[in-house]
């Protein structure tokens, strides 16, 4: 579904206060970027580049905000903040989703201050201007005001799309059109897991002291997976490697992965589920990668044995042993869809050196905690993994702040990191030029 925006997005406003010379300097840094190497330090630390990122990436592309499971009933909302933006994502009475800027049209106060909740009309806490769920200003009493036209002061809207239960938002006046093509590709992979019949089992909000690009870079490789002992029980640590690059100490794991892969393919063909890797990370505006890949052990879930963590199958799936359907989307998200649960991840930039990583675990809506799943067991692997990743990201942020830092080479197994950075550099060069 698409909503109409009231006004073009804030293109130019975030970098508008910078001098031409400063913008030229920033553009030159993008032009100088050495292929195959990490970025220069200012990309991770500089306030002006952060402002440019918010304008050129988060202000212009589709951003993953959350899922329908987070707003299951009419009136349910989440607020989503990144950089200077704050949005209200609200389940409306017609069953759709309204995305409204969380900025009061009186003097700009945040209208909703909680990260989630249920609301009827939305009342700004400052002078009680009141908006309906469509964002229309319905009440603004003030002594002596007689000819005040409320119709001119609705909350501003952003674009939205809901695909396979995932909610995407865009602040652009004209959001990238190729998102619809990409959505047609990934919907058949994710659709059978039926997010609309899931509920949130747990959500973790983790502030990482690192630039948003370091968070994304870290997510796009498994070169560091020795640092994830819990995850490595089920996610083959050979991910990202090839026959040529797999090290000898992982030869057994590689063979096990091949066997699990052929078993998974057989199952997918039996159930009519797509599984092929489709990867267009830096060759289109809406960069993405999707695949269905096996898990180790029992092949069902992210547990130590690979065994299911929730007893209830999702959607109309007929088998738990379906590995993980994993998707990477530029600029800020990644996902694992399993037979028994789904995990969504989003990275929301806070400042040049700080990023909020929101992780949400979804289970079948009729799964009962303590009966069908144990919450600690369900969340253990990725809670541990997220903490380990946070440490890696923070180590890199501290390194990037040192005068001794200089860009280092990405290894072959880090090709997706390179693809993410390529995508970022291309998109920003186009924006700044
Ligand atoms: S700023 Fe919202 S009512 Fe005044
Ligand atoms: Fe990691």
369 falls within a domain: yes
**Ligand 1 centroid distance, CA of 3 (Å):** 24
Interior CA angle at 320 toward 318 and 323, to 5°?
120
- Inter-residue contact 165 to 97 (CB < 8 Å): no
Collapsed DSSP state (helix, strand, coil) of residue 291: strand
Cis previous bond, 86, omega within 30: no
- C-alpha–C-alpha distance, residues 281 and 336, integer Å: 17
**Ligand 1 centroid distance, CA of 105 (Å):** 7
- C-alpha–C-alpha distance, residues 233 and 306, integer Å: 7
Atom of ligand 1 nearest to the CA of 140: 3
Q: Domain range spanning residue 281?
A: 194-432
210 falls within a domain: yes
**Ligand 2 centroid distance, CA of 361 (Å):** 17
Residue among 113, 126, 138, 140 whose CB has most ligand 1 atoms within 8 A, to mutate: 126
**Alpha carbon separation from 115 to 70, 78, 199, 354 (Å, rounded):** 11, 6, 17, 18
139 CB near ligand 1 (under 6 Å): no
Collapsed DSSP state (helix, strand, coil) of residue 217: helix
Which structure tokens are listed for 213? 């690009």
What CATH number does residue 287 fall under? 3.90.380.10
325 falls within a domain: yes
What is residue 13's predicted lDDT score, i.e. its pLDDT? 66
107 CB near ligand 1 (under 6 Å): yes
350 falls within a domain: yes
398 CB near ligand 1 (under 6 Å): no
151 falls within a domain: no
Split into its structural domains, the chain has a count of: 1
Helical packing angle, 212-219 and 375-400, nearest 10°:
120
What is residue 418's predicted lDDT score, i.e. its pLDDT? 98
- C-alpha–C-alpha distance, residues 214 and 390, integer Å: 10
129 CB near ligand 1 (under 6 Å): yes
Which residues, at least 6 apart from 4, have a Cβ–Cβ distance to it below 8 Å? 157
- Inter-residue contact 135 to 87 (CB < 8 Å): no
171 falls within a domain: no
- Integer-rounded Cα radius of gyration of the chain: 22
Residue pLDDT, tens place only, 39-83? 999 999 999 999 999 999 999 999 999 999 999 999 999 999 999
What is residue 28's predicted lDDT score, i.e. its pLDDT? 94
Task: pLDDT tens for the chain, 433 residues: list them.
Answer: 334 444 333 446 677 778 889 999 999 999 999 999 999 999 999 999 999 999 999 999 999 999 999 999 999 999 999 999 999 999 999 999 999 999 999 999 999 999 999 999 999 999 999 999 999 999 998 877 777 888 889 999 999 999 999 999 999 999 999 999 999 999 999 999 999 999 999 999 999 999 999 999 999 999 999 899 999 999 998 887 888 888 898 899 999 999 999 999 999 999 999 999 999 999 999 999 999 999 999 999 999 999 999 999 999 999 999 999 999 999 999 999 999 999 999 999 999 999 999 999 999 999 999 999 999 999 999 999 999 999 999 999 999 999 999 999 999 989 999 999 999 999 999 999 8
- Inter-residue contact 62 to 169 (CB < 8 Å): yes
109 CB near ligand 1 (under 6 Å): yes
142 CB near ligand 1 (under 6 Å): no
103 CB near ligand 1 (under 6 Å): no
Which ligand neighbours the alpha carbon of 357 most closely?
Answer: 2
What is residue 4's predicted lDDT score, i.e. its pLDDT? 41
Which ligand neighbours the alpha carbon of 214 most closely?
Answer: 2
Which residues, at least 6 apart from 186, have a Cβ–Cβ distance to it below 8 Å? 163, 164, 288, 290, 327
What is residue 243's predicted lDDT score, i.e. its pLDDT? 87
220 falls within a domain: yes
- C-alpha–C-alpha distance, residues 67 and 344, integer Å: 8
**Alpha carbon separation from 84 to 45, 291, 301, 376, 396 (Å, rounded):** 17, 33, 37, 34, 24
106 falls within a domain: no
What is residue 2's predicted lDDT score, i.e. its pLDDT? 38
């Amino acid at each position: 579904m698409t909503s109409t925006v009231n006004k073009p997005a804030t293109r130019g406003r975030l970098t508008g206060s910078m001098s031409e010379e400063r913008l030229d300097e920033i553009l030159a840094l993008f032009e100088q970027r050495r292929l195959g190497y990490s970025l220069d330090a200012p990309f991770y630390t500089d306030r002006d580049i952060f402002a440019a990122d918010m304008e050129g990436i988060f202000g212009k592309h589709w951003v993953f905000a959350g899922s329908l499971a987070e707003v299951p009933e009419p009136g349910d909302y989440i607020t989503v903040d990144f950089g200077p933006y704050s949005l209200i994502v609200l389940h409306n009475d017609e069953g759709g989703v309204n995305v409204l800027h969380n900025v009061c049209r009186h003097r700009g106060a945040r209208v909703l201050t909680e990260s989630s909740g249920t609301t009827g009309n939305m009342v700004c806490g400052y002078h009680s201007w009141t908006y309906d769920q469509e964002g229309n200003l319905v009440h603004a009493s003030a002594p002596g005001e007689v000819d005040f036209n409320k119709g001119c002061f609705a909350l501003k809207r952003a674009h939205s799309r809901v695909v396979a239960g995932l909610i995407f938002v865009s602040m652009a006046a004209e959001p990238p059109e190729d998102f619809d093509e990409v959505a047609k590709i990934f919907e058949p992979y994710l659709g059978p897991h039926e997010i609309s019949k899931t509920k949130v089992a747990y959500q973790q909000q983790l502030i990482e002291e690192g630039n948003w690009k370091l968070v994304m870079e870290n997510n796009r490789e498994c070169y560091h997976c020795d640092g994830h002992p819990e995850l490595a029980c089920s996610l083959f640590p050979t991910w990202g490697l090839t026959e040529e690059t797999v090290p000898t100490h992982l030869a057994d794991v590689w063979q096990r992965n091949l066997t699990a892969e052929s078993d998974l393919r057989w199952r997918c063909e039996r159930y009519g589920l797509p599984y092929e890797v489709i990867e267009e990370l830096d060759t289109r505006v809406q960069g993405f990668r999707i695949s269905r890949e096996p898990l180790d052990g029992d092949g069902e879930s992210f547990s130590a044995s690979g065994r299911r963590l929730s007893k209830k199958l999702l959607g109309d799936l007929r088998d738990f042993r379906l590995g993980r359907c994993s998707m990477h989307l530029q600029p800020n998200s990644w996902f694992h869809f399993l037979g028994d649960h789904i995990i969504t991840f989003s990275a929301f930039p806070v400042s040049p050196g700080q990023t909020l990583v929101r992780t949400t675990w979804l289970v079948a809506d009729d799964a009962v905690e303590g009966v069908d799943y144990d919450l600690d067991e369900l969340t253990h692997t990725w809670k541990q993994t997220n903490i380990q990743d946070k440490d890696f990201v923070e180590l890199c942020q501290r390194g990037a702040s040192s005068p001794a830092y200089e860009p280092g080479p990405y290894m072959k197994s880090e090709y997706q990191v390179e693809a993410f950075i390529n995508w970022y550099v291309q998109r920003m060069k186009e924006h700044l030029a």
